[in-house]
């Protein structure tokens, strides 16, 4: 059991049959009246974000989310196949369980598969990935305005904005949380 007074960023708990994760919290002690905990939390299954205030003595069940390392193998239509790196057991997942960041994951990449009580509800890709640019317009000599970008298609099919000096065939690093270009890859 966990009380609302024990909330911290990242804590997961169960309320009304739903699994929730605290994004932000604030303990408020007004001059008049009782103290309360102002909370912003995300439903880990649906992704919905809600703000709500709790009494600090409200009790909730702890929700333990299991994160397993699995290797992305291939996809077959709407099914994506993952292999447990310890048991070599394969598991198919529907495309609706994958996040938007999955477009930056290529085959043979290790990802974290998230599950609650044995039910898989999502995938966490690595924070940063190195991918090759397969399509982009050439940069123009003399076009040196600050922060000018152009679209580029990566080897996974994802499209990102890159600086003008990036050419086809270059390997670049992408932040999967934001989908932004970070730097040229050092590999």
CATH code of the domain covering residue 57: 2.30.30.30
Other residues' Cβ atoms within 10 Å of the Cβ of residue 159: 13
Sign of CA pseudo-dihedral 34, 38, 43, 44: negative
pLDDT exceeds 70 at position 143: no
Give the chain's end-to-end CA distance (angstroms, integer): 47
- What is the pTM for the complete model shown? 0.69
Number of domains in the chain: 3
Instruction: Tell whether 91 and 119 lie within a shared domain.
Output: yes
Domain boundary among 29, 62, 95: 62
Task: Measure the CA–CA gap between 164 and 184, rounded to whole angstroms.
Answer: 12
Over range 17-41, report the average pLDDT.
88
Each residue's pLDDT tens digit, 89-131: 888 888 877 777 888 888 898 998 888 887 887 788 888 889 9
Q: Residue holding tokens 């709407």?
A: 78
pLDDT of residue 145: 61
Could you tell me if 75 and 113 lie in one domain? yes
Which of 87, 105, 124 finishes a domain?
124
CATH code assigned at 107: 2.40.50.140
Judgement on whether residues 103 and 143 belong to the same structural domain of the protein = no
Mean pLDDT taken over the chain: 85
Same domain for 145 and 133: yes
Q: How high is the pLDDT of residue 11?
A: 84
Domain that holds residue 156: 128-184
Amino acid 141: pLDDT: 61
Greatest Cα pair distance in the chain:
66
Based on the domain organization, do 77 and 98 belong to the same domain? yes
Mean pLDDT for the stretch of residues 141-149: 67
Contacts with 3 (C-beta within 8 Å, 6 or more apart), sequence order: 56, 57, 58, 59, 60
Residue 136: phi and psi, rounded to 5, are -170, 160
């Amino acid at each position: 059991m966990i009380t609302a007074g024990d909330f911290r960023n990242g804590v997961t708990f169960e309320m009304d049959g739903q699994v929730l994760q605290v994004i932000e919290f604030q303990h408020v002690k007004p001059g008049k009246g009782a103290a309360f905990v102002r909370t912003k939390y995300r439903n880990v299954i649906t992704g919905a974000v809600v703000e709500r205030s709790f009494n600090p003595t409200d009790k909730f069940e702890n929700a333990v989310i299991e994160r397993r390392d699995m290797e992305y193998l291939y996809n077959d239509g709407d099914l994506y196949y993952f292999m447990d790196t310890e048991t070599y057991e394969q598991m198919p997942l529907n495309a609706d369980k994958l996040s938007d960041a999955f477009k930056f994951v290529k085959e043979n990449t290790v990802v974290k598969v998230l599950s609650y009580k044995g039910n898989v509800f999502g995938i966490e890709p690595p924070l940063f990935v190195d991918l090759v640019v397969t399509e982009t317009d050439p940069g123009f000599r003399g076009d040196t305005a600050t922060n000018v970008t152009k679209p580029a298609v990566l080897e996974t099919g994802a499209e990102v904005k890159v600086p003008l000096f990036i050419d086809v065939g270059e390997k670049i690093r992408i932040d999967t949380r934001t989908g932004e270009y970070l730097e040229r890859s050092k590999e």
